[in-house]
């Protein structure tokens, strides 16, 4: 992959600036994987220099057509998708997209997906070669492909994956994006702990033995049926639910993960799921997230991330805090 000159994203040390494993973002509002094109396509409608970061579409080793249509449907409280990781594959990404990364006026996080450890390692290595990609978000939680949640649903397999990825990432930080299904007998703290404590040999100085950040969470496995035709509304039969319906689930996952493992290990959490307003983002911050990603909201109002950032700024001041990081995990439980 051609190595790009690093675009110096120089965020002001403002009230909203946050640090994710040593990467400083100008604000904690991030555009979520798969909902904003491959890279910078949203720049026409939302000024990317005013968001904290953008996550690329999930990239796999080989190109994928994805699932048959319909693969997105609206539901009463959000949307369901079964895109099936449609993407151009890592070679085309390296050739056609990576050279543009250095010109994107915000932090770029590269999302990777795969079906085996070798798949993930190949894509992670290509992302690490692109100097301007500051972190890799490992999607172990896609519910729309066969095997898409395997690593995310098995703490031992996840540890092994993180151990294999750690040495490949000489520079880019390693973020792990988990599934919301770990909310019952398989507790999110166990899956997050497996990623954080993977026990890898760090490749360079200042690297950890496991994940640098935990992203919570991907879409929730779900299904909708057209009662007139009696057919599933998605060609894939099932899909992933996102939007307002999943927001309270994500708040609990963040709260549980922060208290059980993230806080003590100093691992930042990126909260994802149904952030449409600044209040939704503030809830994530209070539950323990250091930053938030927005996906479904972009389909409703592509400029909503800017409104969320503005609302957060007013909120932080009203709370009497000097910076948003003071409010991370600040929910009052007594």
Site map (CB under 6 A) of ligand FMN, residues 198-227, x = contact: --------------------xx--------
Count H helices and E strands in the chain, helices first.
Answer: 10, 16
Q: If we measure between CA atoms, which residue out of 157, 328, 189, 333 comes closest to residue 256?
A: 189
Query: Smallest gap, in angstroms, from Cβ of residue 57 to ligand FMN?
Result: 5
Q: Which stretch binds ligand FMN (CB under 6 A): 6-14, 229-237, 289-297, 315-323?
A: 289-297
Give the DSSP letter string of 129-198: HSTTEEEEEEE---TTSTTTTTGGG-HHHHHHHHHHHGGG-SSSEEEEEE-TT-BSSSBHHHHHHHHHT-
Q: Are 233 and 225 in contact (CB under 8 A)?
A: yes
DSSP assignment, residue 47? -
**Which listed residue (57, 64, 193, 233) binds ligand FMN by CB under 6 A?**
57
- Of 130, 142, 215, 257, the active-site residue reads 142
Query: Smallest gap, in angstroms, from Cβ of residue 239 to ligand FMN?
Result: 9
Site map (CB under 6 A) of ligand FMN, residues 120-149, x = contact: -------------------x----------
Q: Cβ closer to ligand FMN: 101 or 246?
A: 246
Does residue 70 have a cis bond before it (omega within 30 degrees)?
yes
Q: Is 135 exposed, middle or buried (0-12, 13-18, 19+ CB in 10 A)?
A: buried
Residues 65-104 that bind ligand FMN (CB under 6 A): 72, 79, 81, 83
Residue 1 CB coordination number (10 Å) = 20
Query: Smallest gap, in angstroms, from Cβ of residue 250 to ligand FMN?
Result: 8
Please state the φ and ψ torsions of residue 154, each to the nearest 5 degrees: -135, 105
Query: Smallest gap, in angstroms, from Cβ of residue 219 to ligand FMN?
Result: 5
Q: Are 234 and 66 in contact (CB under 8 A)?
A: no
Please state the φ and ψ torsions of residue 89, each to the nearest 5 degrees: 85, 160
Residue closest to ligand FMN when measured from CB atoms: 34
Q: Is 12 exposed, middle or buried (0-12, 13-18, 19+ CB in 10 A)?
A: exposed
- 36 noted as active-site residue: no
Q: What stretches of 211-290 adopt beta strand conformation (E)?
A: 213-216, 220-223, 225-226, 231-232, 238-242, 269-272
Site map (CB under 6 A) of ligand FMN, residues 97-116, x = contact: --------------x-----
Query: Smallest gap, in angstroms, from Cβ of residue 3 to ligand FMN?
Result: 25
Q: Cβ closer to ligand FMN: 164 or 277?
A: 277
**Which listed residue (16, 32, 42, 54) binds ligand FMN by CB under 6 A?**
32
Give the residue carrying structure tokens 């026990």.
Answer: 199
Q: Which stretch binds ligand FMN (CB under 6 A): 30-38, 152-160, 199-207, 303-311?
A: 30-38
What is the helix (H) or strand (E) element at residue 320, kind and residue range?
A: none
Site membership for ligand FMN, residue 179 (CB under 6 A): no
**Which listed residue (242, 290, 304, 325) binds ligand FMN by CB under 6 A?**
242
Q: What positions carry a catalytic annotation?
A: 142
Q: Which residues bind ligand FMN (CB under 6 A)?
A: 32-35, 57-58, 72, 79, 81, 83, 111, 139, 177, 218-219, 242-243, 246, 272-275, 294-297
């Amino acid at each position: 992959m051609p190595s790009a000159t690093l675009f110096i994203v120089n965020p002001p040390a403002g009230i909203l600036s946050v640090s994710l494993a040593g990467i400083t973002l100008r604000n904690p509002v991030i555009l979520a994987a798969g909902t904003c094109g491959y890279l910078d396509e949203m720049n026409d409608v939302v000024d990317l220099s005013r968001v904290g970061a953008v996550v690329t579409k999930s990239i796999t080793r080989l190109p994928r057509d994805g699932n048959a249509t319909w693969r997105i449907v609206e539901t009463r409280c959000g949307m369901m998708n079964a895109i099936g990781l449609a993407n151009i594959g890592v070679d085309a990404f390296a050739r056609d997209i990576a050279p543009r990364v250095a010109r994107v006026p915000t932090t770029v996080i590269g999302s990777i997906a795969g079906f085996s450890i070798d798949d993930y390692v190949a894509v992670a290595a290509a992302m690490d070669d692109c100097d301007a990609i500051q972190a890799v978000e490992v999607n172990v939680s896609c519910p729309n492909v066969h095997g898409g949640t395997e690593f995310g649903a098995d703490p031992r397999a996840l540890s092994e994956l993180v151990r294999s990825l750690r040495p490949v990432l000489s520079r880019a930080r390693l973020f792990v994006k988990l599934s919301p299904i770990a909310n019952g007998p398989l507790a999110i703290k166990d899956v997050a702990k497996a990623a954080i404590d993977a026990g890898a040999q760090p490749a360079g100085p200042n690297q950890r033995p496991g994940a640098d950040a935990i992203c919570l969470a991907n879409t929730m496995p779900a299904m909708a049926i057209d009662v007139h035709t009696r057919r599933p509304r998605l060609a894939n039969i099932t899909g992933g639910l996102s939007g307002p319906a999943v927001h309270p689930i994500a708040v609990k996952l963040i709260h549980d993960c922060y208290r059980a493992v993230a806080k003590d290990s100093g691992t930042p959490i990126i909260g994802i799921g149904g952030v449409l307003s600044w209040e939704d983002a503030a809830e994530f911050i209070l539950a323990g997230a250091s930053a938030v990603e927005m996906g479904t909201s972009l389909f409703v109002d592509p400029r909503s991330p800017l409104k969320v950032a503005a609302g957060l700024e007013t909120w932080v001041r009203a709370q009497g805090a000097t910076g948003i990081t003071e409010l991370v995990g600040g929910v009052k439980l007594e």
